[in-house]
Structure 1
Amino acid sequence: MLMSNFFPKNLRATEEYADERTLSLMKRAIAGAFVALGFSIAALSMVALRTGWPHWDIVSALLTFYLVPATYAYRYIRTPEEKRRPTTARRNLLYMSIAMVTLWSIVGMIILPGLDADTRLVAVSIFIVVVYAHCLPFALFPLIGMGLMALNLLPLAIQLTLLNDDSVIAFGLCGVMLLFMEVGTFCWLHRKDMLALKKNEADGAPDQEPDMSEEGFRKRLVFSLHANSTPAVMMQSVAAFFMVITLRVEAYESLLWCWLLGYLSVQTLRTAGFLAHGENPERLRLRDWRLLFGAGVVLNQLAWYSLLILFHDIMSGFSLGVVSGMFIVIAVISTVGITSDRLLLYLNSAMCLVPPVLILFSGEEVWSMVSLGMLASVSLLIVVENIHRSALHSQKGRLLQRLTEFRSREMAELNNDLTDARERLTEVNANLEKQIEERTEELNYQATHDMLTGLGNRYYFSRKVSEALKEQNDEQAGFAVYLLDLDRFKEVNDGLGHLAGDHVLRVIAARIANACGDQVICARWGGDEFVILERRDVSEVQVEEFATQLVAELRKPIDLDSGPVSLGASVGIALCPEHGTSAEQLLEHADIAVYRAKSRKTGVSVYDDKWGHEASERLQLVQALGYAIDNDEIEIAMQPFVSVENGSLTGFEALARWHDNVRNVAISPGTFIPLAEESGLMPAMGRMILRKACQTLMKEVPESDLRVAVNISVMQLRQHDFVDDVVSTLAEANMPASRLELELTESVFAGDVLQIRQVLSTLRDLGVRISIDDFGTGYSSISYLRDFPLDTLKIDQSFVAGLRNGGEGLFSSIVSLAHGLKLSVIVEGVESRHDLDKVLSLGGEEIQGYFFARPIDSGKLGDWLEKHSSRPFSMKRRHLSVAVDNHSG
């Protein structure tokens, strides 16, 4: 098992750190060349003095060749790094070394046969030092070094074996065994060099975090036993060689060399064990590795015992003293590498103590020697224990140092990562802040401007009127408010389509903006109504003149695909402070003036306080509306919501409908709903619509999850008992709160925000859904959308109309805004297949519009459901050259 791993992996050829190792090789080669030169001169001098060898001068001259590799290595070191060729340099240095080795082998073959035993022994001893000087620099490239050592030692060993001298045959074989044992030395040196290179590359940091557990520490101790014992083996081998030289006498010389051969064999087996552990520590359990190592220690000591037993007879006088001192040295050397294992340290120390004690006991003063031996034993135990404790503390200290270095490097890497992350985050934040700023500017613009015409919207205009009123209160100049309503726009919009209507609105808006210039503020109030604020002191004549010119400008033909069309306009004017000192008064009076201009077809009308006929008509309408509410004559119509995901029906919006039975006419919701709000009838009418919507839903679809959405005004939310009304209505209809959705217009944000938010939060806690209707046409504010308890955002149909003329970016922005606030999206006003395809491509969860169904009378809802509830609408996008208009769904 052990011999199969005698040549470990780290002795195999590798190019790792090849440049650094080559540079170190050159530096060591210089030192090795001069060491080899010095000992070579010593060997030749000794041979020449003892034998009078006639050719010593020629061989000495050849020694100057040692300067060749030294000079070559020095030139390589001085060569700039970018011009070095490591592979070529190593090859050339190897060739030079082989030449020197070959020269020495030839000289050895010539000299050794003619030398006497003592001279030959000295020469061989010196030659071994020369061999080490040749080969050890190549420990950085161990395969080359081992080959070079074999080339040095094998010829010498073979020649000694074949000298026909029985006393040196074993000596020659020792050279062969030494060659095998040197594998451990090369492995140990190579490992030390590679660890040093890796440590330098990592700035002193360990490769990985050391295992500080008890099991990990035990593994570390066993590893230390095997990794650090190679020097002890080599030093004991050297001591054994000198011991043989000390005891050498002619009668026992052959036996001494045989003992040395056996001893080197034992050390070779121990070296094989070290290498096997280094190759694969997991092959055996820790206990087995420890037992195997202990067996090697015991075997090593038994080999020394055999020396004492076999050669005790020739130990006397000076040699006995030298052997005793040598045993003491061996006792010290043998502890190298095993100080971390208490049991092995004690065992080795006790066994080392036996030979010198036996030698002392051979004297005459036995009892004094026994006392001295006991004292030495106790002292040895104390010293050994201190050595063991010191070794453990050293091991732990090194592990803690490695752990500290590892943690320090990890912290440094973490700090670098954090620094990089912080820099990236700073860059991302800067980009994000820029995007937020741009997006905020865009949303602020969208919140204050009409997306179709580019003019200011209702919120923007109301704010400007408020600012003008503050200036008026500060006794500065008055101002005029114009309300402009287009004539015959409905004909264009219904007859030519919404795309044509949108184009007309954009052209009208551009003409109004041009007429107003930079000093006069204009905005789109909604639908086909526009408002103008002239913030200067103007007379009634001046405002009429300006309005007349504006109407004339608006009557100019507008080019459409179907041909030019001309529209008229009616303008109502209210002056501040003559006709009102609040925005509501001024706009109401301007509205009355528009109504008068339309009814009398004058085009322009300035409000007159003496008018009463219109007020009378409005009063009659209010009374009729109150009667209709009291007699439950307000009906509802249901318009469905359709899921974008699968085209299934998800609910309805309840829309108020009023047919005046007295005059037998249908009153538009655009007329009676604002009138109900102005007259205070809205809370009563809202309760009626809410009750009928819940009852209708539970009558037609009692067991489904379909919901009904009911429009709620700000006035209703301000009622203190509004929440109670909702709860009682749900209980009366036996309807779950989750099936009710309350729709609020953006005007809710202009009211008492705190009170309204509290009411909505209470309702939402009950399970009622809250949505914002007609988003983008009123008092939109991102902060309100974020702070109010909302579930759904309904995109106004004007944005759908904008899709017909490139309004995709704005539409997508609104959808992204809603989803960013975790609101679902309902898109209203989808009237054609083209609208549907556009909406499907841009996003939203539900769709409402004429494409699926017009508002359905509550009495006809059952029939409609029977036809459509089990047949989902198709949500598959179509790519047609001509949009298909389908109002029936």
Structure 2
Amino acid sequence: MRSAAFLPAIFADTDEFYAERGALLMKRALIGLALAIGCSLSIVFFILTSATLVHWYSIIACMFIYMFPIATAIQYGRKPPEGLDAKKAVVRKYVRQLVIVVIGWNLIAFMILPGLDPDTRLIVISMFVTVVLGHVLPLSLFPRYAIAVLVLNLIPLSLQLTSLGDADIAPLGIAGVVFTFAEIIIIAWLYVTDMTGLRKSSGDRGAIEPDLTVSGFRQVKISSVYLKSPPSVVLQLVTALLLVIALRAPEIESTLWCWFLAFVSMQAIRAAVFVAYMSRTNDDRVGRWRAFFAIGMLGSQFVWFAFPFIFNAALSDFHLGVVAGVLIVIAVLSSIGLTSDRALLYANTALCISPPILFIASDINFWMLASLGLTAALTLFLVMESIHESAIRSLKGGLLHKLANYRARKMEELNLDLINARHRLTEVNASLESQVLERTQELKHQANHDMLTGLGNRYRFTNMVERALDEYHNDQSGFAIYLLDLDRFKEINDGLGHFAGDHVIRETAQRIRDVCGEDHVCARWGGDEFVILQRYVSSREEIYRFSDDLVNKLKMPIELSSGPVSIGASIGVSVCPEHGTTAEELLEHADIAVYRSKCMRGTVSIYNDNWGVEAAERVHLAQALRNAIESQGMDLALQPLIAMNTGKLTGFEALARWPQTDNAPISPGVFIPLAEECGLMPMLGRWVLQRACEMLQDVAPDSDLRVAVNISVLQLLDVDFVSEVLDVLTLTELPPERLELEMTENVFASDVEQIRNVLSQLREQGIRISIDDFGTGYSSISYLLDFPLDTLKVDRSFVTALNSGGEGIFSSIIALAHGLELSVIVEGVETQKELNSVIRLGGEEVQGFFFAKPMMLPELEGWLIEHRDTSFDIKQKFPFVSLG
């Protein structure tokens, strides 16, 4: 059941004290339902004694339905449901069951009321109002439900009375509709009273400091007037109903009910003002609400004042005396809630005693009446003044009591805060030394450990080396220092992001810790470098054995969100005392050793005294390489590509060369790794790309020959790489179809999505893409499927293996490439025997010293003059034959 949205704010749905209200509802429901059942039985017996009850079985059925809400209330009291939602569900269930009972009573009323005589019908209706109160009043804890049940009880009954065709009783039906709205004041008053009591019992009393100012006291007085008015309104409604029933006569019955309708309408207006006042939020306009209340009070008294004048002629002297007595009673009842407001109290008293005085004036001497009336009025006003003064003192006393409670509560809270503060201060003082010690230990740990991996840091490791050196000086026990540098970590960190790089570092640290155990000291030196201290080294075989365990452990794949990656490590070792007797010497020599290991592409190197000179020379070599690239001191060689089916020249592969003025050229096997290590590959790659395009345009400008250029991972990860390639093609006027970009398999260990996107953009321009040195890196068939590729280049190591039974692997690679619709270039063919094997096993193009070595521009121009118009007879011992 849902309440209408237009109800005032005081009836808004709220979960405040829902559990307590639910428990009270079920207790009161048993009382209310018992009252309803008792009144229902009284109605049945009264009808049986006064008239014939035709539909008795329907009443018995309705009485039986009462068992369901009673059972729900009893079950709730015995075992309250757990959880707010469960409690709400039971309350809704009770309301639905009560609604079914109400509907049953409405149906019964529609059946039996038309057959009753007017007097019996009126008494039955009066008793039914008590039944309605039994239904509604317990639900005042949930005002929306209460209003819904009230409307469902009274509105159908009132409409039925209006439609019975009895003109005398029709005003009573209309009064019943208005009475429904007047009764809302009861629901609102009971709801506010209950909620105030719950808040007090929960400890909210005195939560707000009372306002003892003049304006604050005015607020208290008007609130007192409003909160005490509902009992007066209800009692007046009951009195008016009893008066009308007692004075009923055929000739004035319709008029009586019309007067009662007017009186109920006035009380409904007062109820609306009461509900509006209780629904106000932060409204301090006391005068406005006092005026509203006064208007409602004056209107109510005016209706009472009109009663004896309207029915004076039709009532006997006895009845007029009864009316006068009732008015005196009303004077008392209506004064109940007005004692705190002198003006309203006096005005109400004057209005109540005026009608009796006027009645008496019609038969008694005027001067005698005036003296008696003045005496009675003065006496009554003195009584009212005494009552008013008592009420004001009571209000002020209540405010002072609230203020005292508020101040006492605040003092208790302050004392409690002081006690708690003292306890906290004691605890802080007691634990301060412990906290300082813990913080000192934490700072000491941070100063000695790496935050990412939890391993020791440079400072701690250096101290451990110093300690080991002290032990060496005491007992001559040597030790070894290992420096590990991860392979390809920069590609992973730059390609997959720093989060992936951090995960790799943490996993590597854990693996190093697992291999070292408790016998070794391991630490993170910085970046992707780790150091290990091994005590009591007995032989170099022990060093190699331990290094192999480390490398094998580190080579195991590491799972990342983008897929597994594998890394290795280069290890440099220095031994005390052979390579130094200070921490600086040993660590420096281990660093030189690991550098040597990377250059030699090995896994472990033990320091040699000659390497120190080589390391210095390598620094000078790196600087010379940078200068050579910037000053165009590099050169380029092109090696031909030959089609295996025709023997014709199809293009060249561009290979960087570094000539020296006085010495032999420096091998690419030396300067290419050096460029990668020093971050010069992007610069070198840009130069090679542009120079290769220029050379092809120089030697074969109008042909369809292509040039293949090697590119690095770092170039592919550059966001400007695509535009750089297109700028070079535009500058050299080389068609995109004549350019082929070669990349090694290590691109699959980088940011795969980024690289795939770059390659797709290049291929859309017509540039060919190939995988170089296939089978020697980290290829995956899934990557070959996903990447936009044109060519697969078979590494020379597979060609060499053909001489020792490697045909199966070679043919599998060819079949794989063709299955993926990739053309195949076979590298490194140097002999006729290798060529014959390659021809037999398949491939589209071939490259190697058997046809031509890489040639600089002058040599290449001469070679092209001699062989441009020839094709290679790749099946003969002599390589070429004239086509002319």
Shorter-normalised TM range: 0.3 to 0.5
- The TM-score, its normalising length taken from structure 2, stands at 0.47
